[in-house]
Amino acid sequence: MMIRRYAIVILLCAVLLPAAEEGFAQQPAVPAAPARPQEAPVDVGQTLTVDVNLVDVLFTALNRRNKLVIDLNKDDFRIFDDGKPQEIRYFSRQTDLPLRIGMLLDTSNSIRDRIQFEKDASTGFLFNVMRHGKDQAFLMIFDDRPSILQGFTEDTGRLRDEIMDMKAGGGTAVFDAIYEACEKELSNPPRPPGDQPDVVRRVMILISDGEDNLSEHTRAEAIEMAQRTSVVIYTISTSTQWISLSETNKEKLGDRKIHKTDGDKILEDIAEETGGRAFFPYHVDDLDQSFQDIGDELRSQYSLTYWPTNFVANGKYHKIKIRVEGRKDVQVRARRGYYAHKAKVAKSSAPGAASK
């Protein structure tokens, strides 16, 4: 029976296969996709430039007790660019994002007496704020020039070991360190697997006395680079010049500095321009609550985006002001402004183009 069935199947195949091949051969060819409309030729020397002038602002809302306010919506905010109201195009509440942290530590001669304070403060921050499996940090030191000691890692123990081996010596290039850390490290930090591009919070912890004497970049250039890469900078001063001999007792010092040095004012300016905060502690213990506050802030922020109606590509600085409607008890902490990019003059490469 099985042999007969196989014989019938073979016979049927022998009869039907030529007919099927003939049928396929008679089918019309699949029509080709319609040709795309012919585009106008582009001159060899022509350069097409498209400017996207979106301004993205990250910010934190706080009440009068400096507690986070996290239940606000798009309609609660108004944004002003150089005093002119703008339309908020995109708005979101961003919570619990992975952190990408740049630890920048001053190792110049000027902080030699406070090097142990720097070590304790930086390790204290890492162990208080970083979450294993989610956050990453890199370590940069700077004296005459910036230098990376440890690239991005989630291993706080490895970072701590590098910090504890630091030694002080040389001049101070704090602005170059900020610029390079933003441009080379924080502009393109490691992304969590499978997520969208903008899903990490970029933050810098800068521990220094703020006294720069060797940078090639200016303070304005360092701040501009931080703003362009959406880096929030928190600064911690190592200066103790404000302490008098009769006031080394913490009870007398209280929680505020009596006198800020020029370096302290620079640190304060850098922090406020980028939406961060400046701290002026004496003991490392003074920073415990501050570190907790920073971690909470970075994981509970708002983001809004707008197209400036008054934009001109001239490199001018624009002041940003965010106001909360109907909530006088709420204040906003955000970067103070941004620099409009300068228009680029394209050089023609067409044959016979005149050179200047």
pLDDT over 60 (residue 9): no
Assign 153 a pLDDT band (cuts: 50, 70, 90).
very high
Q: Is the pLDDT of residue 128 over 70?
A: yes
Side chain identity at residue 267, one-letter code: L
| Per-residue pLDDT tens over the stretch 266-295 | 999 999 999 999 999 988 888 988 898 898
Q: Find the range with the poorest average confidence among 31-40, 113-122, 143-152.
A: 31-40
Q: Any bridge partners for residue 49, and if so which?
A: none
Does residue 141 have a pLDDT over 60?
yes
pLDDT at 344: 63
243 pLDDT band (50/70/90 cuts)?
low
Is the pLDDT confidence value at 213 over 80?
yes
Q: What predicted TM-score, i.e. pTM, was given to this entire model?
A: 0.79
Q: Is the pLDDT of residue 19 over 50?
A: no
**Could you tell me which residues come within 8 angstroms of residue 188 by beta carbon, excluding any fewer than 6 positions away?**
none
The answer to whether the beta carbons of residues 144 and 109 sit under 8 Å apart is no
DSSP H/E element including 237: strand 232-237
pLDDT class of 51 with cuts at 50, 70, 90: low
Q: What is the pLDDT of residues 83-94, one digit of tens each?
A: 999 999 999 998
Domain ranges of the chain: 55-93+305-339, 99-298
Nearest to 203 by CA among 127, 115, 98, 105: 98
**Given this structure, which CATH class describes domain 99-298?**
alpha beta
More confident site: 67 or 25: 67
Helix or strand or coil: residue 313?
Answer: coil
Residue 251's pLDDT band, with cuts at 50, 70 and 90, is low
- Lowest-pLDDT choice from 54-63, 90-99, 318-327, 341-350: 341-350
Confirm if 133 and 97 have CB atoms less than 8 A apart.
no
Going from the C-alpha of 231 to that of each of 101, 117, 126, 253, the distances in angstroms are 9, 25, 17, 32
With a cut of 80, say whether residue 78 has pLDDT above it.
yes
Query: Counting beta carbons within 10 angstroms of the beta carbon of residue 128, is it exposed (0 to 12), middle (13 to 18) or buried (19 or more)?
Result: middle
d(Cα 168, Cα 148) in Å, to the nearest integer?
15
Among 166-175, 244-253, 303-312, which stretch is predicted with the lowest mean pLDDT? 244-253
DSSP assignments along 43-112, one per residue: -TT---------EEEEEEEE-TTS-B-----GGGEEEEETTEEE---EEEEEESPPEEEEEEEE-SGGGG
Question: What mean pLDDT is predicted for residues 43-54?
Answer: 56
What are the φ/ψ torsions at residue 224 (nearest 5 degrees)? -60, -40
